Amino acid sequence: MMELNLLISMLDLVGVAVFAASGSLVASRKEMDIVGFTLMATLTGIGGGTLRDLILDRPVFWITDQRYLVVCFGVAVLVFFTAHKLQKRYVALLWADAVGLSAFGVMGAHIAMKSGASPLASIAFGVMTATFGGLARDIAAGEKPLLLQPEVYVTAALFAAGSYLGLTYAGLAQVFAVFIAILVGFLIRAGGIALGWALPRYKGRAGRDYG
């Protein structure tokens, strides 16, 4: 249990850092100043977990533990001075973002389940934790929201959260359930990035066959 908590805590910081980097990269596309970078990094890095904690009525995780804000501020400064290099590595960031997406999906579901949320609600919390920061990032920067892109993204978070719930209810040790579920979410998102995986989209024509 000690080890699980340590694992969760480390995954959390990694997820915050990765999302802070994605917020900073959006700030660089919008040519913001360094304060704008910091705000976008923080909003994206801690947005999803903040909404999760608010709705679960838990103490919001970054109020007393300064590590999360330090990570966001540090990443923002780093990206501000090095984004021209990171942009050449945009593909690398997409992959790191995929890790953050599935890690947050699993952790959101784990924390919600521990807090007494129903199974369906726990999956909803996983998806919310994984996607809200990115949604807030896009809206604050006036970019086209994440939800509208064709490749699987929310779907990967859904599978990360859902498979964690499923494996835990099936009796698997939580440490293994965490790793397998993150892997499931990551592989689905990987299919979206590398192979253009996408679910069929609604087309509005009558008589289609979704099988």
CB < 8 Å & 24+ apart, contacts of 120-126: 122/161, 122/165, 123/158, 123/161, 123/162, 123/165, 125/52, 125/55, 125/56, 125/161, 126/157, 126/158, 126/160, 126/161, 126/162, 126/164
Query: Exposed, middle or buried: residue 74 (CB in 10 Å: 0-12, 13-18, 19+)?
Result: middle
> Does 62 help bind a second copy (rule: CB under 8 A)?
yes
Which residues in 146-205 contact a second copy (CB under 8 A)?
147-148, 152, 154-155, 158, 198-205
Q: In this complex, which beta carbon is closest to a second copy, that of residue 87 or of residue 175?
A: 87
CB of 19 to a second copy, least distance (A): 16
Do residues 20 and 93 touch, judged by C-beta distance below 8 A? no
> Does 90 help bind a second copy (rule: CB under 8 A)?
no
Structure tokens at 5: 């908590």
CB of 48 to a second copy, least distance (A): 14
Q: In this complex, which beta carbon is closest to a second copy, that of residue 53 or of residue 97?
A: 53
| Binds a second copy (CB under 8 A): choice among 13, 83, 180, 193 | 83
> Does 117 help bind a second copy (rule: CB under 8 A)?
yes
Backbone angles phi, psi at 199, to 5 degrees: -75, 155
Structure tokens at 56: 């679960």
State the residues that interact with a second copy by CB under 8 A: 27-28, 30-37, 39-40, 42, 50, 54-57, 59-60, 62-66, 69-70, 73, 80-81, 83-85, 87, 112, 116-121, 124, 127, 131, 135, 139-142, 144-145, 147-148, 152, 154-155, 158, 198-207, 210
